[in-house]
Amino acid sequence: MKLLVTGGAGFIGSNFVIYMLQQHPDYQILNVDALTYAGNLENLKSIENHPNYTFAKADITDVQAMDALFSQGVDVVVNFAAESHVDRSILEPDVFVKTNVLGTQVLLDAAKKYNVTKFVQVSTDEVYGTLGATGLFTEETPLTPNSPYSASKAGGDLLVRAYHETFGLPVNITRCSNNYGPYQFPEKLIPLMISRALADQALPVYGDGMNIRDWLYVEDHCSAIDLVIHEGVIGEVYNIGGNNERTNVHIVKTVLQELGKPDSLITYVQDRPGHDRRYGIDPTKITRELGWKPKHTFETGIKETIQWYLNNQEWWTRIQSGEYQKYAALQYGSR
């Protein structure tokens, strides 16, 4: 099988490429990534010389570049490439629409022209908007995105759906909850808190810290996508999540406790505009119909993740010293 993976130099994409080469060493993987601030080829050091792995630096919104890559022959597309950070989408929505909506459409056109056997759109629970105190997101929950990021992801999802309905393109859409694990960019909650706590910097918790996210270890997301590639019923949407709802303040206190740092580092700051209160995935469909089961509990996964960041300080300090500085100055000032 020849897999074209977009965004394979990012957090989940690089974990996915490594996972797939371990599970299916005979598959050919073409990783297509524009290497934005979030893309990092260092993540892929362990497999860069694998005989079945190729990398192409290209932007998914570039029609000619995508045509040239697809013309080499592609069986399955897995589209991870996206602008992924909600806070950045509040500062700069345009690039989110460009990559997440237009980029998806460019890929869909190429997939249609070259008759791929499946197009998997890697989406997010954020397209469903926010939950109140009870209930869970199912695949039937209406899309009511609240941030420019989630609206752009919902736009991409709707195009994927439309290419299936209109052109018969064989598609699946996956919608996963919050991921954590190795290689997550240190702007996201867990690695941000680890890196700042280690430097004894204030930990900015938005609002009252009681917003809830549903956490899944990245490898469990990868195994779910692997299953959807092989067993997913064409045209179907699959929610992915491991029933691990936690408040943000619980996450931050767990990080502090693991690192032996005081809770006094927590600083409550102004809330994120449009901040979704609670996410919770109902994974019944993928569990019952495809037999997916996560391997990691939150308690072990978070410990392993903190240990990974302790063991790989060079990886994230290098990132923090680059282009990230400009964003960090805007977001955290002198805190």
Query: Is 149 an annotated catalytic residue?
Result: yes
Q: Pick left, alpha or beta for residue 87 (phi over 0 → left; psi -120 to 50 → alpha; otherwise beta).
A: alpha
Say what the alpha-carbon torsion angle 58, 63, 65, 66 is, to the nearest 10 degrees: 80
Instruction: Count the residues in the chain.
Output: 335
* Beta carbons of 47 and 41 less than 8 angstroms apart: no
Q: What share of the chain is helix, strand, coil (3-state, %, to 5)?
A: 45, 20, 35
Detail the DSSP E strand segments found in 127-264.
Answer: 171-176, 178-180, 203-206, 212-217, 237-240, 245-247
Catalytic site includes residue 180:
no
- Taking the C-alpha atoms of residue 206 and residue 246, their distance in angstroms, rounded to an integer, is 15
> Could you tell me the smallest distance in angstroms from the CB atom of residue 81 to ligand NAD?
4
Amino acid 61 reads T
Among 4, 5, 9, 17, binds ligand NAD (CB under 6 A): 9
Q: Does 246 bind ligand DAU (CB under 6 A)?
A: no
Size of the site for ligand NAD (CB under 6 A): 30
Specify the stretch interacting with ligand DAU by CB under 6 A; choose among 184-192, 220-228, 235-243, 256-264: 184-192
Contact partner, 185, from ligand DAU, ligand NAD, none, Cβ < 5-8 Å per class: ligand NAD
The site map against ligand NAD for 94-123 (x = CB under 6 A) is: -----x---x------------------x-
- Does 211 bind ligand DAU (CB under 6 A)? Our answer is yes
Instruction: Identify whether 324 is a catalytic site residue.
Output: no
Task: State the residue number with the nearest CB to ligand DAU.
Answer: 124
Q: Which of 33, 126, 157, 214 is catalytic?
A: 126
Does 15 help bind ligand DAU (rule: CB under 6 A)?
no
Structure tokens at 18: 């490594």
Sign of the C-alpha dihedral, residues 87, 143, 115, 3? positive
Residue 153 contacts residue 124 (beta carbons within 8 Å) = yes
Could you say which residues in the range 273-302 bind ligand DAU, by CB under 6 A?
279
- Answer with the entry of ligand NAD, ligand DAU, none that 43 interacts with (C-beta below 5 to 8 A by kind): none
176 binds ligand NAD (CB under 6 A): yes
Of 178, 223, 244, 305, which lies in the binding site for ligand NAD, with binding defined by CB under 6 A?
Answer: 178
- 10 forms part of the interface with ligand NAD (CB under 6 A): yes
181 binds ligand NAD (CB under 6 A): no
Which residue, among 242, 253, 223, has the nearest Cα to 280 in the 3D structure? Answer: 242
Cα angle 185-189-190, degrees, rounded to a multiple of 5: 80
User: Choosing from 53, 114, 128, 149, which is the catalytic residue?
Assistant: 149
For residue 18, give the nearest of 184, 312, 223 by alpha carbon: 223
C-alpha to C-alpha distance for 88 and 83, rounded to whole angstroms = 9
Q: Which does 319 bind (CB under 5 to 8 A by kind): ligand NAD, ligand DAU, none?
A: none
> What are the backbone angles phi and psi of residue 51, rounded to the nearest 5°?
-60, -25
Q: Which of 188, 246, 253, 285 binds ligand DAU (CB under 6 A)?
A: 188
Binding positions for ligand DAU, 225-244, rule CB under 6 A: none
Residues in contact with ligand NAD by the rule CB under 6 A: 6-7, 9-13, 33-36, 38-39, 59-61, 80-84, 99, 103, 122, 124, 153, 176, 178-179, 185
List the catalytic residues.
125-126, 149
Residues in contact with ligand DAU by the rule CB under 6 A: 84-86, 124-126, 177-178, 188-189, 192, 204-206, 211, 213, 248, 272, 279
